[in-house]
Amino acid sequence: MKVLLFPFFAGCCLLSVSLHGNEGNQSVATDNNLSKNSPNISAPNPPVRTSMNRTLEDASRKLRSSHIQDRVGAAKLLGKYPGGDSALLLIGSLDDSSELVRRAAMVSLVEHFNNGAPIYEQPLAEKIFSMIGDSDVEVRREVTALIPRLIPGLMRSGMERVQLNGRTVFRSVPGRLREDLLSEVEARLLDTDSIVRQNLLKHHFSLRFQMKPETFAQLLNDADSSVQLVALDQVRMYASQPGVYSALENLVSSKDIGVRAKLAKTVQSLGRSFPNYRNILRKLTDDSVDEIATLAAVDLARLGEPVSEKMLQRISSFLFTSRGLHGKTETLFYSLSALGTKAGPIYESLLEHPSPSMRSKAWERYLAVSEGWGTPAIWIPALSDRDSQVRDAVLPLVRGRVEAISGEELLSLIQNKYPEVRVLSAELLLIAEQEVVQANFFDLLIDEDSLVRATTLRALANIRLDGWIHLHKKSLLDSDYAIQRAAMDGLLGDRKEGVPILLEFARKYPSEKISSLVRRELQQMGIQP
């Protein structure tokens, strides 16, 4: 049922214009008579009508024109003047006999909403929403896209009086659509236009409307893949309804890759609550597209199902031939954790991937799955990688976790061309056998990088290597402040031999920068230099 609002609104505007016009003419005539009879009294200026008022009056007049183009032009113009008066004129124009006028009016109302002029009055919001049944497809598209903004006006809650335990009380009643509008929503879910179907499907929960299972199943198998994708987002609410499983099963053979990929993701989320849906995933593992098949296989693994060796090989080949970590590839990569230890060989195969980001992440996952950080022979090759991204990924994983290292392994790290790796080798002196330390520490002490040398000094002080006191004493005279600081820190840890050396140094070289720090540290220890 259409509500004919336009004649009422137009009549109000005409009445207002007529009244204001007569009053103005009468006032001017009276004032003219006064000015003629009273030369000392000047006639007041006639009232000035604003530009907006003139525009609205002109638009109101043109909306009553017999020419369609006049009405279309007026409706388009009113879109530039958001506000109650122009909105009423536009809502009235929704009853126009011309679809061009109705379309222009709807577009202008959308423009009002976009410019921060929402409509909260329920009758007006309902009038706009009723246009989902309009014969013009563009009108239906506009109003269904506008649903989220119409909700505050459409779904106004109210109060009702009820008897509770013999007492009259008031309780809130949630807002809901009128029955005729609900019926229109039901009909338009199967609209001939796919965009209308998408919009209503996307927003129907906001309208507190639940469609029939057969309607939803029909939308899942819609001829337009865009509608199918939107429907897949809504599956969880209808998963237990009859016919929905069969509709989803049909999508396994969809020609649209995007639909099949979305199907795999959707069914995975349903698999825990609805075990029968796992059968769809099993069918998807045979998909011709590696991306879909591998994701389905991993999703089954997430649900506790085994993955064949053939599929594991397919996953490995797919990832290795990919260009790197991006999009669905990244999703699959991180999903491999569901495979447990079976993911180890896959990650290992990716350690030689051309992409640095893939190699770095593969190293991270491989070391985690295999717990390989305790075995230097496994991760030492990563620290010779040409890309710093890979080295920076591995170093934090192994630092502090290595419990033993051979002389050969330590030597390979000492000879590494990257200084951050040689710093690690200096740190590993702490856990190496003494003979290994004796054989390798000197190369680190003469390293070109000051951080390597400083780290070596700190390690030697911790393990109390024979002759460390002498090395630290000499290092106090180093030209590099970082070396001096490391030497000082080491000597401070030995009150018997180290502290006297620092006292002597501070007295002998008072102008040295490190000497002022030495004095402060000694004072904090209760020793007056």
Residues of the chain with pLDDT > 70: what percent? Answer: 89
- Rank 40-49, 137-146, 365-374 by mean pLDDT and report only the highest: 137-146
Query: Token pair of 366, please?
Result: 């491989």
Q: Does any domain span residue 101?
A: yes
Confidence tier at 327 by pLDDT (50, 70, 90): confident
Confidence tier at 47 by pLDDT (50, 70, 90): low
What's the pLDDT at 14?
36
Q: How far apart are CA 121 and CA 76, in angstroms?
A: 22
What's the pLDDT at 9?
41
Backbone region of residue 243 per phi and psi (left: phi > 0; alpha: psi in -120 to 50; beta: other values): left
Model pTM score: 0.68
Q: Which residues pair with 326 in a beta bridge?
A: none
Residue 23 has pLDDT above 70, yes or no: no
Q: Which residue has the higher pLDDT, 374 or 474?
A: 474
* Mean of the per-residue pLDDT values of the chain: 87
Residue 274 has pLDDT above 80, yes or no: yes
Residue 27 has pLDDT above 70, yes or no: no
Q: How far apart are CA 504 and CA 508, in angstroms?
A: 6
Q: Does any domain span residue 368?
A: no
Q: Does any domain span residue 417?
A: no
Q: Please give the residue range of the domain that contains residue 88.
A: 6-155
What's the pLDDT at 158?
64
Over residues 334-345, the mean pLDDT reads: 88
Residue 227 has pLDDT above 50, yes or no: yes
Query: Token pair of 166, please?
Result: 């013999």
* Coil, strand or helix at 447: coil
What's the pLDDT at 176?
82
Q: Does any domain span residue 116?
A: yes
Q: How far apart are CA 88 and CA 425, in angstroms?
A: 79
Is there a contact between 151 and 139 (Cβ–Cβ < 8 Å)? no
Is there a contact between 308 and 274 (Cβ–Cβ < 8 Å)? no
What's the pLDDT at 12?
38
Q: Which residue has the higher pLDDT, 368 or 23?
A: 368
Over residues 215-232, the mean pLDDT reads: 96
The total of structural domains in the chain comes to 1
- Among the ranges given (326-330, 418-422, 481-485), the one the predictor scored with the smallest mean pLDDT: 326-330
- Per-residue pLDDT tens digits for 488-511: 999 999 999 999 999 999 999 998
Q: How far apart are CA 197 and CA 224, in angstroms?
A: 10
Q: How crowded is residue 107: how many other Cβ atoms within 10 Å of its Cβ?
A: 16
What's the pLDDT at 341?
87
Over residues 176-201, the mean pLDDT reads: 94
Q: Does any domain span residue 75?
A: yes
Q: Does any domain span residue 69?
A: yes
- Per-residue pLDDT tens digits for 311-320: 999 999 999 9
Over residues 402-427, the mean pLDDT reads: 95
Q: Does any domain span residue 227?
A: no
- Per-residue pLDDT tens digits for 446-458: 999 999 999 999 9
- Among the ranges given (160-174, 286-300, 337-351, 467-481), the one the predictor scored with the smallest mean pLDDT: 160-174
Q: Which residue has the higher pLDDT, 1 or 95?
A: 95
Residue 110 has pLDDT above 60, yes or no: yes
Residue 180 has pLDDT above 70, yes or no: yes
Q: Does any domain span residue 106?
A: yes
